[in-house]
Structure 1
């Protein structure tokens, strides 16, 4: 009896093992099928993704190129446009003779050709501006294709471009005839479009710097001031920017001064006109920001006065 029971147990155990083996085989086959299906699916996805990445690779490279160009310290293309304009204007100016220097092409002072140089400057600047406009507009079209910063478009919108162009023209006109207020005008134009105050101030400071370089170049050629005077005023200008500009930007960032707004229902262009006539007068302009107390208002006025000193001093640096 014992032998029979042992044999029955063995048979049952073998049967159970065989069943388990079959079940495991089935499970393994199912697992293999699932793995194979997933591998096939992944392979298809890889092929599709490779097609998509090949299609998007050009766009990604172009997007990366735009990003890298915008974050370079020295943007070669924009610097070439700026320096090209500077040298072209200086060359045309040197073609005209005046009481300080003779024409490089031999024109006499009291001739029609000498006076026509003024019209040549206007024509060349308009042509140069159109070249820059078309180039930068095409660049913005390529940025639209890859959706690179779609909210930052200037050249595609003609009204906005002409608005900034008018600001630059008024700044140059005011600085050229009055010797001041160029930086204030540029800042007002930029801040009216809700551009960050520090970026607007930096742009205005760069514009003032280029105007000062232009004047410095003329003074060196005409020798109308001494080298000592030039060095002294340049040193004072550098110290003024270091001491005043940085604290002003810190305060502007702290109190979130974003843009100017005109009081007494004056239009924006009336404010610009008043800025041109009264360069350092701020009685018609009010800062639109979070003013909750008189102490804050006093701080805003101090910041505004510091910035006015900065821009007026930079613009007058070489116009004394």
Structure 2
């Protein structure tokens, strides 16, 4: 049985080759993204494995069906880039990794907060240039601050607990309140109330029609002046143009993002020798109070191990039984 991988990096090959021995798949790796122009590269494969920026559209799925592909495996939790209705129509199973290491993403969100607040990235560069001045490095105590968490799935839940450990008051917004978090002291409140009260707002919700641009010019105006905004979920949760306007006015005083609305044209590539034509990301990076990382929140040994094993098990089960014991991982 053969799996064709798209959007692969050296670490993908390393981990999937390392754990494939007990499964015995033939693995075919491509660095380029899956889309309507590259789907022809799939040759005699039983499954394809894709990542966050691959475009699994109706056109792509139709071509995969013609090629007798039976499974599309996402090695990630999000699936907004997949046409699920088309997959169902063509009788192709879609599976994902609903939970790998929620701590990895939650801890990265905290790293963004600490770095933006205490400006350790600037201090590092200063000291290397023998500049030991503290001017411009003033931060604030996290203790006692109010942190608003939008989305309390596995990652949001882990993030809430970490922030409670810092002595923060944690507010949360989700469709259904998590009783376990409520028992620990997290307060579930309406979105407007969360935005109005929070010193730090962190996004941990999936991207769908209801959450796209949940951070817009309207919701930004509900926030405290000088708020810190963190996004380690999906780029399109934020209206980037509105955020830039708020950064210029000071309404948003700190922005930390590990995802970006147009990241498929930039992230996971070395563009150091090229001119980036995306004016929006260039504008964002020009702000001294903005920290951008390139979708690395998931990038820990533990997370990659779990992603690899879950993906291989999902494909193995679906190809052998057309069923999946981990029902939360099966989309179609």
For Structure 1 versus Structure 2, the TM-score category normalised by the shorter chain is under 0.3
Comparing both chains, which one has the higher relative contact order based on Cα–Cα distances under 8 Å and sequence gaps of 6 or more? 2
Greater helix percent: which structure? 1
Larger radius of gyration: 1
The structure richer in strand per residue is 2
